[in-house]
Amino acid sequence: MSRRSPRSGPRRPVDQARRAAFDALRAVHAGGAYANLALTDILDRRHLDERDAALATELVAGTSRLQGTYDAILEAAAGRPLSSLQPAVVDVLRLGTHQVLSMRIPTRAAVDSAVDLAGTAIGERVTGLVNAVLRKVAADSLDEWVDRLSAGTTGVAHLAVRTHHPLWIAETYADLLGEEAAVALEADNLAPRPTLVVRPGLAERAELVAAGAVATRWSPYGAVADGNPADFAAVREGRAGVQDEGSQLVALALSRVEAPAGPWLDMCAGPGGKAALLTGIARSRGEDVLAAELAEHRAGLVAQALRGYRPAGRVICADGTRPAWPARSFARVMLDAPCTGLGALRRRPESRWRHRPEDLDDLVPLQAQLLVSAIRSTLPGGVVAYVTCSPHASETEDVVQTVVEELGDDGIGTEVLDAPSFLPEVPDCARPDPWGGDRFVQLWPHRHGTDAMFLALLRVG
């Protein structure tokens, strides 16, 4: 069989699923996009059918999830660092490696499709390289490659390679969970089912269940459904949205704490799921929520999440560290602080390879500043929910301890409440606090089927 040359005419068109997956990965690696959001935008614009959309989704999610492992395999197969290759070529190789090693696609078809993608999306000059490297990749199974990569490692380092995580993340899990860490890390590799949430006052969960969804285990507002959430009328009409059950539960806990009457604040509200849920709950009590978000485009997402409410939910662009509101203004404050996102690795699989331990150097001081601001924004007797989608001690218990003790030295009393008591239906969610109690909530994918959300509830004196 003769090899095609650049002069032999155009290469056959690449199927739309693989091109969509490639373009989404380029948006992630060249533009810093979130994989799920980049792919959703591409699928919406290109109108792929259900089968192609499912294939593109698996290609992007699976490639992103095992990216670090695939990169090590590719460097071994290529005999050179990936940094010496054109970034777009690397993304083609990653997609091809996922098809060869982790999907039920015949090797020849997987390699040929990657070669075709390279020729169409990049140029004929790179097709020989892609073909040669992927055929070397295909010489062994994924298990055989992982055995080779993990040879000579022990303990947490061995666990990190076997579960496809950077070492620092595996160490974080091991510090928190001990022997349970292996199960937790494996859970990060299982794609979650889409979880929906109703906007209280606009829809009832029974409507979603009647349309084919299954009620969530603990949140009274959620339901799980496969497929496209927009297939549900309530989602299309803004009466429901997409939100992990863990995010629903931390908002529910804040709403259950006794607090004085008054407005509520969602301090870092983007993309708007918690703001929408809290708005419905607050309005049922004759109160309302102010949603504040620093980034203008994320504030737009919050407004979109609130679009079903009349009057419209209040959204402002504001820096939580420099409040645009007077001190002691709110009865309840939700602070879902910017974090490494280590608790959402199953949902945003590219995050495990995007973040570095040194990211904490910037995030932790910001988290502390925001928590101080949240406490100063709260009425006496009011409550602050400090939330992160990360279980890392530096972003969770350490921040709370530092702020509570420093504000105490300044004469601002802050009581750490028993957060698990406000989620009594959720088993095994208590996490030790620095003062010898178990007053924090920690949710886990492997225990609860949710993102690994952390929650501390603080009453302001």
The answer to whether 242 and 197 have CB atoms below 8 angstroms apart is yes
How far apart, in whole angstroms, are the C-alpha atoms of residue 368 and residue 295?
19
How far apart, in whole angstroms, are the C-alpha atoms of residue 90 and residue 80?
12
The answer to whether 265 and 330 have CB atoms below 8 angstroms apart is yes
How far apart, in whole angstroms, are the C-alpha atoms of residue 100 and residue 59?
11
Active-site choice (268, 317, 339, 389):
389
CA end-to-end span of the chain: 80
Tell me the β-bridge partners of 224. 195, 214
Contacts of 377 (CB under 8 A, 6+ apart): 265, 267, 323, 325, 327, 328, 329, 330, 333
The answer to whether 455 and 378 have CB atoms below 8 angstroms apart is no
- Strand intervals (E) in 236-353: 240-242, 264-266, 289-293, 314-317, 330-336
Kindly write down the DSSP assignment for every residue of 28-79, as one continuous string: HHHH---HHHHHHHHHHHHT--HHHHHHHHHHHHHHHHTHHHHHHHHHHHHT
Catalytic: 389?
Answer: yes
Bond before 192 cis per omega within 30 degrees: no
Tell me the β-bridge partners of 265. 290, 333
Contacts of 127 (CB under 8 A, 6+ apart): 4, 115, 118, 119
Total count of residues recorded for the chain = 461
Residue from 404, 459, 456 nearest 431 by CA: 456
The answer to whether 223 and 209 have CB atoms below 8 angstroms apart is yes
Q: Is 90 helix (H, G, I), strand (E, B) or coil?
A: helix
What's the token pair of residue 33?
């996009």
**What are the residue numbers of the active site?**
389
